[in-house]
A and B are shown apart, each in its own frame.
Chain A
Amino acid sequence: MAQTNHTEQHTLIALVEDKPGVLTRVASMFRRRGFNIASLAVGNSEQPGLSRMTFVVNGDDYTVGQVAKQLDKLIDVIEVSDITKESIVTRELALLKVTTTPMTRGEIIQIVNLFRANIIDVGSESMVIEITGEQDKTNALNALLQPFGIIEMHRTGVVAMVRGQANGLATGYAGRCNGSVHN
């Protein structure tokens, strides 16, 4: 199939049953179909017994359309929606452990404050910084702190939500992608 669309980052959200093995089913599907997950975050939803997953997937419209359809086909997946083109808010939490010396500590604290990040642990030769925001913000902080020496970084992956009244799903994937007419 001709893949003429350019690759871009898509954000998908899914409501899934909170059962053992659901994450394995989802991960296995990505692996066996050759799709790449840029990030995946999963946690409880507002409804008991259901979890919400946020995927960031790199691919063209065809590939991401296939990802959404294959996800939706999994029995434990209740609904999937590609919210990339919606008005959304996205957040990611990251912890960064940075090498510090008495000479650099002040400069690092300045950078952290500029980013409205938090220092949550300070040791004699390192500190742990917590940052929450869109992925770009974490990337920027990471870039600025690189010269000081990053010992460890842990990112949670993006969670996303559609702005306004919608829950991102009711008119989501299942409503929009049932069949197609291309002219």
Chain B
Amino acid sequence: MELTGAEIVCESLLKEGADVVFGLPGGAVLPLYGALSSYPGIRHILVRHEQAAAMAADGYSRATGKVGVCVATSGPGATNLVTGIAAAQMDSVAMVAITGQVPRPAIGRDAFQETDVTGVTLPITKHNMLVMDVKDVAQAIHDAFHIARTGRPGPVLVDIPRDVLLGEKTEFVWPTTTKLPGYKVPGEAPESQVAAAAELINKAERPLIMAGHGVLISHAYGLMTELAEKAQVPVITTLLGISSIPSDHELNLGMSGMHGMAYANIAIDEADLIIGLGMRFDDRVTGRISDFAPNAKIIHVDIDDSEVDKNVKTTVGLVGDLKAVLGQMLPKVEANVHIDWLRHIEELKIQHPSHLVRDSNELLPQYVLQRLTEVTQGRGIVVTGVGQHQMWAAQHCKFTEPNTFITSGGLGTMGFEVPAALGAQVGRPDSVVWSVCGDGGFQMTMCDIATAVESGADVKFAILNNTSLGMVHQLQDIFFEKDYVASEYTANPDFVKIAEAYGIRGIRVTQQDQVVNAVQQAMETAGPVIVDFMVKEDEIVYPFIPSGQSVKEMLEEPAPGEPSSKSSSKRSSTGRS
């Protein structure tokens, strides 16, 4: 049967197993919406801003391991996707974005709502394409999904002119293969290199695994834990590697880097071997590169050849799928105990207890997160925005299952927490999804609370409300002589009333003894809930290795009674509701 381009898009989405799309219609993409109504197998979730469509697709993808799909119209619709696409690119998230384009005869004439979106997204997509013939639509969608989900995942944008969606019909033929002669997906690594890596592990006295997002993407968590246990190698996770090993696993040292655990950073400094798995030695992880792991040889396993030797010089670089490579490596790695090394790390934990929260009568944000994670018992999904609350969540939330911590790492996108949590909840409807928000980021995307309500996405929003852009405030505190320009909100809305306005429950928490009850209440309430935690202002995220510095310059939380690294704040407490 002959189909329109729009119908072919829908057929192709179903072939690729995409049963949920997040989007917002407009003129150029409207033919696709016209076809959608005939495809009940595809659930369309209408967002309030296209930014949310991209970020929801991102959260959906990370929570499910499937390709997240978002749809927008030409021009402003497409450009509104850009931040979400860039975030997906930085964090290697499988996403397909489908955008309408002005009709072919209008392209290049600055037509109404025309933007060269393949040009705009060229540097922030894994690949993109403009489909100029209805006969190419099926192949384009097939190739897009293949590129998005295989190898190092990433976003792929498919731009389709209106008259390709709704014009000449053609026979729908689902392609049997991709047409991508230049696209290679690594599998196993060369045996000789794997052997060289195993030999380094067997000889190491102070080895450390650094686990990144690739461990989760490649489903390599089981094999990684097996490797760690067999050779008794402690595991450090990057921000995106969190949940690749259970938080309470005795070999899990938590996150390292700029706001990582002090003992994890010191361990890296002392290690004689770093085994980087599916991570990219990003500057937030390494600090000053010349001082990173100065005593260590480095094994780096990544599926993206261009990551190996990019930031740090490796001793052995293995290009391949992490699960496959660990499968090759495990039999070659000898059982070991590393008693002295593990005992030393236990001592470091006692000397540098960065995972503990100090006693205080005030409502500390860290305290809130510790109680929250106790109530959920580390089950369910935590999604965060970007800033202080994100770092505290990374430090204090506990995880028992893979793919349960979803955060914008590489791009650091504020506002991610609302739509990404919505997407995660849509993808995993049986999971409890907590969106840990900053009051800054929440206000960037809170319009899509409406989307959560409409789509029945039962997200619980925990706003750690310090009436400021906390991380900016912290940087001004330490590096800009407490010149808090443009980082304090004096007229935040009442988030409980915001909740009520959206027809959902809102709970305000101002004291420690209300925290557990509020979290339980939120989880017992059907539908989305906003809990507004009025946390202590001016709290600093410790430990802190300032940008471009090393573990030697790490600031740790002063012990009680010790002079704080900062003096009393000059800010007022206006803006509290």
Contact = CB atoms under 8 A, between A and B. Distances in A.
B147 A179 contact: no
Nearest to B180: A75
Contacts, number: 79
B312 A32 contact: no
Contacts of A174: 184
A180 B317 contact: yes
Given A17-B181, A73-B305, A73-B306, A182 B315 contact: yes
B186 A75 contact: no
Interface stretch (B52-60, B116-124, B351-359): B116-124
B182 A78 contact: yes
B309 A76 contact: no
Interface string B288-320: 011000000000000011101111111111111
A127 to B, nearest CB: 40
Nearest to B290: A2
A38 interface: no
A1 B118 contact: no
A70 interface: yes
Interface stretch (A20-28, A117-125, A132-140): A20-28
Interface in B429-452: none
Given A174-B184, A177-B305, A2 B313 contact: yes
A75 B118 contact: no
Contacts of B119: 24
A181 interface: yes
A65 interface: yes
Nearest to B319: A179
A29 B206 CA distance: 39
Interface string A48-83: 000000000000001001100110111111110000
Contacts of B319: 178-179
Given A1-B289, A1-B311, A28-B122, A78 B305 contact: no
A180 B314 contact: yes
A24 B130 CA distance: 14
Nearest to A16: B182
B479 interface: no
B127 interface: yes
Q: Which of A16, A72, A73 has the most CB of B within 10 A?
A: A73
B107 to A, nearest CB: 12
Contact of A69 (B126, B305, B314): B305
Contact of A182 (B192, B305, B314): B314
B193 interface: yes
A98 B123 CA distance: 42
B305 A75 contact: no
Nearest to A15: B182
B315 A32 contact: no
A15 to B, nearest CB: 8
Given A2-B313, A25-B122, A70-B306, A75 B183 contact: yes
A69 B308 CA distance: 10
A137 to B, nearest CB: 34
Given A1-B289, A178-B319, A181-B193, A78 B181 contact: yes
Contacts of A16: 182
A28 B120 CA distance: 11
Contacts of B305: 69, 72-73, 177-179
A66 B313 CA distance: 12
Contacts of A177: 305
B156 to A, nearest CB: 9
Question: How extensive is the interface on chain B, given as a class?
Answer: 35 or more
Interface in B156-198: 180-184, 186, 189-190, 192-193, 196
Contact of B122 (A24, A180, A181): A24
A174 B307 CA distance: 15
Contact of B147 (A75, A77, A79): A75
Contact of A1 (B130, B182, B313, B320): B313
Contacts of A24: 119, 122
Contact of B309 (A65, A75, A79): A65
B317 A17 contact: no
B182 A179 contact: no
B288 to A, nearest CB: 12
A32 B308 CA distance: 19
A138 to B, nearest CB: 32
Contacts of B181: 17, 78
Contacts of B180: 75
A178 B186 CA distance: 9
Interface in A68-124: 69-70, 72-79
Interface in A1-57: 1-2, 16-17, 20-21, 24-25, 28-29, 32
B189 A179 contact: yes
Contact of A21 (B118, B123, B289, B314): B118
B313 A76 contact: no
A69 B182 contact: no
Interface in A160-183: 174, 177-182
A75 B127 contact: yes
A73 B310 CA distance: 14
A182 B190 contact: no
Contact of A32 (B123, B184, B189): B123
Contacts of B183: 75
A92 B167 CA distance: 47
Given A2-B290, A75-B126, A17 B182 contact: yes
Contacts of A28: 122-123
A174 B305 CA distance: 10
A77 B190 CA distance: 23
| Residue of B196, B290, B305 with most partner-chain A CB within 10 A | B305
State the 3 A-B residue pairs at the shortest beta-carbon distance, nearest first.
A69-B306, A78-B182, A180-B317
9 contacts: A1-B310, A1-B312, A2-B290, A73-B305, A75-B147, A78-B182, A178-B305, A179-B320, A180-B193
Interface of A: 1-2, 16-17, 20-21, 24-25, 28-29, 32, 62, 65-66, 69-70, 72-79, 174, 177-182
Interface of B: 118-119, 122-123, 126-127, 130, 147, 180-184, 186, 189-190, 192-193, 196, 289-290, 304-306, 308-320
Given A178-B186, A179-B320, A180-B308, 20 more contacts: A1-B289, A1-B310, A2-B313, A16-B182, A17-B181, A24-B119, A28-B122, A65-B309, A69-B305, A72-B305, A73-B304, A73-B305, A73-B306, A75-B183, A76-B182, A174-B184, A179-B318, A180-B193, A181-B193, A182-B316
